[in-house]
Amino acid sequence: MAEHAASEGTSPPMLEVDDLVKSFGGLRAIDHASLSVAPNTITGLIGPNGAGKTTLFNIITGYIPPDSGRVRFRGDDITNLPAHKIFLKGLCRTFQIPREHPSMTVLENLMLVPPHQSGEFVLAAIFRPGKVRTEEARIRQQALEVLEFLNLTHIKDEYAGKLSGGQKKLLELGRILMAEPAMVLLDEPGAGVNRTLMQRITDNISYMQRERGITFLLIEHDMDLVMNLCDPVIVMSEGAKLMEGPPEVVRNDPRVLEAYLGGQYAAAEG
């Protein structure tokens, strides 16, 4: 389990969400939501369908604008920045349904990630081909090392669209490693994944937090995964934060047991 950062009380938050509001027609999806994520933690975000979790992710990462409120990342106001500029600041996300490039190989999907590659520019390709080749070789080697770490080397030349759901989730983690972010928002990394691959995914998340210093905020409905991987856990309800705390506190809170865990842990405790 990720340890709650000892310096949480003194270090500034990695991510701050301040009084966000977002409505779609007459439906208020985010209702004055405020929360923060400490650096070098794996923070869980739980709540029932319709609680506003994915909408919150979409606002934080620039896919939709808020009606009001602010988002700060490493102290910088990123409210209303386009998604690609937020990515360049070191804040990445995954999606519940992976968004791989299906007609490209697994290796090519990884090599596409690093920004500002020389080969993207026509003049560089014409006048500085040596630089382009050297850079491409370096990125390819980095991608091969990522694939080895994820145990995906054997499918490096497979088209990404042909992978299983679990393999696509691992590929998304590989793309995260290629981006070298400071923080990642994970939208249901366990959805549609068998237990064997799920264990590999959670082990990789723990490794990236522990060894690479990457901060994670993840939405997940698998409560066993959340309780074993995340600390702290934030609970959302009706577009706002209901509570936050260590997993053992959240799992025993009567409001959470009743509304989100369906009593399964209460039954186990009893």
pLDDT tens track for 184-243: 999 988 887 788 888 888 998 999 899 989 999 999 888 888 988 999 999 998 899 999
Question: The whole model's pTM is what?
Answer: 0.81
- In this prediction, residue 119 carries a pLDDT of 60
- Say if CB 171 and CB 106 are below 8 A apart: yes
Please give the mean pLDDT across all residues of the chain.
86
What pLDDT does 124 receive?
62
Residue 186 has a pLDDT of: 93
Q: What pLDDT, on the 0 to 100 scale, is given for residue 127?
A: 62
- CATH number of the domain located at residue range(s) 15-98+182-269 in this protein: 3.40.50.300
In the chain, which stretches have pLDDT less than 50? Answer: 1-9, 263-270
User: Where exactly are the structural domains of the chain?
Assistant: 15-98+182-269, 101-162
